[in-house]
Structure 1
């Protein structure tokens, strides 16, 4: 039986204490939290993408001639599905966010079109899909907001002394995050112009001449 080297044990204990004291364990915990938060963001975005085909088909049954709007939603969903996003790559995250913003805008325009079809708005299948979509949009907002906070917490920590030294040694860098400008743009419903000309205001009536 091999004997345990006491010096090796002491060295390992000292190394463990040093790593703990310089933030190594906290960096690992915060990094795992960011990864879990990102997985939830992707999960909710995928949930929305899964709802879109049924939503488009339902709307098409009542408003088949709204082809431009329906095509825009379908193409935006396809674009989102073709992106292999890497959350640690700023350019990849920006591309992902832009594609999701484009899809959000297309869905907003689709909902505006729906307002012109009372029968569609009363269809039970559409109502169920609309409820699920609204719930999913709320979940996306919550998951995205939580992820932003987790990344901010991680980035702040790995920039602080002495954790920044540990992060540098072990290759932990600050992570890219969703941009505030695009967040505001995504949450704002786009203006929709169907090319209609507003009716002219009625001309004021002249008082009838007194007899």
Structure 2
């Protein structure tokens, strides 16, 4: 009986060790996902901060394009109020679309295209867009690792009990999937 008790205790200790190790791994991976999401938000905020300067520069040259300025303003507000990954993703798509229209206005104003401030802001915005793309890719990679971990055996047996649920990917807006029409 003493030998049986020792075997049972050893199995329980091993099982508890596996669960504790898995739990700690999940906590670490969850925090990694949170950190990566924070970087996405950080870059989105950077872009959000650049936009008013860009809009004001364009306004000086194209004051009659008020519908585009309103679209940019509305999209910025929507992005600022987004609470979930899905809402943020959708608002980001709307803001990208509005920014594209704003930058297309510049094509109609040669003086604006030559404006140093506008060119600097446009370069900063392009750099920020690249940073957003990298941050999104890093976030989605972290989500993929986390989701794979909580769905794999034996973690799947206890992940839900500890409150670890699958995380959402940052997805492209539906409009990003359509091929743009370029006309000369």
2:179 and 2:134 map into 1 onto residues whose CA distance is 18
Runs of 4+ in 1 over 6 A off after TM superposition: none
Q: Structure 1 or 2: larger helix share?
A: 2
2:39 and 2:175 map into 1 onto residues whose CA distance is 22
1:98 and 1:183 map into 2 onto residues whose CA distance is 6
Match of 1:76 in 2: 75
Match of 2:32 in 1: 33
Give the deviation of 1:190 after TM superposition. 5.5
The TM-score, its normalising length taken from structure 2, stands at 0.84
Give the number of equivalent residue pairs: 174
1:178 and 1:55 map into 2 onto residues whose CA distance is 26
Match of 1:185 in 2: 175
Q: Rg bigger for which structure?
A: 1
1:192 and 1:49 map into 2 onto residues whose CA distance is 27
Give the deviation of 1:34 after TM superposition. 0.2
Distance change >3 Å, CA 97–CA 154, structure 1 → 2: same
Distance change >3 Å, CA 31–CA 183, structure 1 → 2: same
Contact 1:34–1:150 (8 Å) recurs in 2: yes
2:177 and 2:70 map into 1 onto residues whose CA distance is 22
Match of 2:19 in 1: 19
Say which SS state the counterpart of residue 65 (structure 1) adopts: coil
What stretches of structure 2 of length at least 5 have no aligned partner? 1-8
Match of 2:106 in 1: 114
Distance change >3 Å, CA 139–CA 42, structure 1 → 2: same
2:182 and 2:85 map into 1 onto residues whose CA distance is 28
Q: Where do residues 133-172 of structure 1 align in structure 2 (5 Å cutoff)?
A: 133-172=125-164
Aligned Cα RMSD in Å?
2.6
Match of 2:56 in 1: 57
Give the deviation of 1:110 after TM superposition. 0.9
Q: 1:175 aligns with which of 160, 163, 167?
A: 167
Contact 2:90–2:173 (8 Å) recurs in 1: no
Contact 1:108–1:189 (8 Å) recurs in 2: no
The TM-score, its normalising length taken from structure 1, stands at 0.74
Contact 2:85–2:168 (8 Å) recurs in 1: yes
Match of 1:89 in 2: none
2:86 and 2:31 map into 1 onto residues whose CA distance is 22
1:32 and 1:48 map into 2 onto residues whose CA distance is 24
2:134 and 2:93 map into 1 onto residues whose CA distance is 16
What stretches of structure 1 of length at least 5 have no aligned partner? 1-9, 86-91, 199-211
Match of 1:104 in 2: 96
